[in-house]
Amino acid sequence: MDLPTVKEKRDSLIENEELCDHCLGRQFAKLGHGLENYERGLVAREIDDLTEDSFVESNVPEEASEKHRCGCEFCGIVFDELDHWTQLVIDSFDRYELETFLVGIRPPEEVVASEEELWSEYGTEWTEPIKTELSRLIGKRIEDRMDIVVDFERADIMAVVDMRDGKDRVELQVNSVLIYGQYNKYSREIPQTEWHCRKCRGSGCDECDWTGKQYPTSVQEEIQEPFIRESKAIEAKFHGGGREDVDAKCFGKREFVLELIEPLNRDLDLEALKKEVNEGTDKVEIFNVEFTHKDKAADIKQKHADKEYRAQVETEDEVSEEALENISEVVGVIEQDTPERVEHRRADKTRKREVYEVSWEVTGPKSFELTVKAEAGTYIKELIHGDEGRTQPNISDLIGTQAECTQLDVTWVEK
């Protein structure tokens, strides 16, 4: 069955329905450029031989804004109340710093039902949903009254206008402020993020001195406090590009994204905050701080960054220079079963990882310093001690005596 022409659809709508100019024009919203729907409605009434090319500015009647009528059984009085809805949104923004916004609409239920009936009868060719028109019109009014702009991709705040009966309210979806940076960790006593107490799981007990935490602080906590304070966010989330062990230092400038949840303030002086963090702690230092977006957080968490490590190793027996030369045999692909120390939180499986480079320097009769560059996800401590054979090959087997990593540093992280 052929679709009706623009004229046929217009004639049928005018003959059978009592449509206001907004609702008539909305049936042809995808025709023409630079017109409001009420102007399309006026064109549809004025031009007898209506075509797809009729919706141009030159066909809009003079004094159109004064001539058009709004309000019919299909839209009720929603277009009469545009200024009311606009002011509600502006008032809801009062506490927040923002540069971009987006408006969502929950139209009256009877309006949605009437619109769907109209579509079922006359089709959806060239049409626009009423909630889209309302969102656009309210958005334009807000842009005119405030120094902010609509952003469909990364709006600071989305205001959802609830026009349903008895609601008359605006709900705000405040998007996070995301800050990219890199950190070094200079303490061997703190994890990357807050750990709940193993005994009470965060509720507080004698063992954790009623803090609910396994460790007094963390990389996240050392960094986030000034950012939360200045943004007036309700909380923060820390997205790290991998993590080092609690007892390992990191000198490799590991990437992270700090997500500030529901902030009131967005205009943050990042250099001043970076300086405050760095001067306020000797446990952590941050670098290269800048605003970013949610895609960056996902990117660094999914990235498998190669790393270089420096390990202090002690052996059970003295090791000859000849035996130490065997360490080079770990270069290449190794197989590591899930280490015993993490099997309670990691899937038990065999992982293949590549060791790219190794070097060593003797520091004593039963000790040496090991440098390893390896693929992301390589367990370095297990590479050294073997984890009772769960890592193959391993350095303990290669040098002929048990070796233990007594100190580990991350010296380089791939960016």
For domain 307-413, give the CATH number: 3.30.70.3190
Q: Is residue 60 over pLDDT 90?
A: yes
Residues 6+ apart with CB under 8 A from 411: 251, 252, 308, 309, 310, 371
* Catalytic member of 245, 337, 387, 409: 245
Per-residue model confidence (pLDDT) at position 198:
82
Helix (H) or strand (E) holding 144: helix 130-145
DSSP codes, 28-45: TTTSSSS--HHHHHHHHH
Q: Is residue 340 over pLDDT 60?
A: yes
Percent of the chain with pLDDT over 70: 99
Q: What is the mean predicted confidence (pLDDT) over 300-307?
A: 90
- Provide the whole-model pTM: 0.86
The verdict on whether 48 is a catalytic residue reads no
Q: Is residue 181 over pLDDT 70?
A: yes
Q: Is residue 1 over pLDDT 70?
A: no
For domain 177-302, give the CATH number: 3.30.70.2510
The 10s digit of each residue's pLDDT in 243-299 is 999 999 999 999 999 999 999 999 999 999 999 999 999 999 999 999 999 899 889
The 10s digit of each residue's pLDDT in 158-179 is 999 999 987 889 999 999 999 9
Residue in 230, 310, 224, 217 with CA at minimum distance from that of residue 266: 230
Query: Would the CATH topology of 78-174 be identical to that of 307-413?
Result: no
Does residue 253 contact residue 244 with C-beta atoms inside 8 Å?
no
Percent of the chain with pLDDT over 90: 84
Q: What is the mean predicted confidence (pLDDT) over 364-389?
A: 96
Q: Is residue 69 over pLDDT 90?
A: no
The residue that leads in pLDDT, 354 or 198, is 354
Q: Is residue 353 over pLDDT 90?
A: yes
* Average model confidence (pLDDT) across the chain: 94
Strand partners, 292: 178
Q: Is 78-174 a CATH 1.10.3720.10 domain?
A: no
- Domain boundary assignment for the chain: 1-72, 78-174, 177-302, 307-413
